[in-house]
Structure 1
């Protein structure tokens, strides 16, 4: 994950606002995407994450195994997992945007992809042992794989 911005803000919405105000600190290929997510995305908090011991957690593990999920390859992992969406009972959606997490006391915002299962965040790239659910939140846009390709073409 390449970190694009570090802030002491308390939530993704304020971080995105700060990022938009400080456009010079954003890599050129990220500026349009940040604005796109800020205008079209929404925040997903820890109470919206798939919980261990649930059927959705089992589905998330199945998708991760199918995708051969590799750390730091979230876009590839999630796009591959979406190829199996008809093999599980849950409604599966692809999301792309930003993950916020805490590292060394700093809140860090990083571009990321994840899966939604029945509307709950299913993180198939980052292990909860490495980054617990309560230490991360997400802000992004739900989209189909075709829409994700279009977003990538438009926003890098």
Structure 2
């Protein structure tokens, strides 16, 4: 089977490959319908967040009301990381790509553009700041 096609076909191919290997002698995989969430191990180091990279820090993932509409990463050096908010140091802007120069436009994350929204995932909005900090500290341990 070619590795093109649907995700389900590819998943079935991987299950068959695994079960036919020597691993299949000690464990058995079955296909199922649904989404397998990735593990949270090291999640703190994988900024930006959400499916489209629209949220620069975990702190903002946990507080949707504080997410910026427009933002720019401050530094592209991989060692420049916000250890408190867990993510990219960023500058919140009051203008988007439409109101910026061509040179600056490519560095601005504009959540008003279709497909770039940072809405949803509001399940942690009810947490108080001390509880959010506790979640962040826990995620650092993974």
TM exceeds 0.5? no
More strand by percentage: 1
Q: 1 or 2 for the larger relative contact order (CA 8 Å, sep ≥6)?
A: 1
Bin for the TM-score computed over the shorter chain: under 0.3
TM-score scaled by length of structure 2: 0.26
TM-score scaled by length of structure 1: 0.25
More helix by percentage: 1
Whose Rg is larger? 2
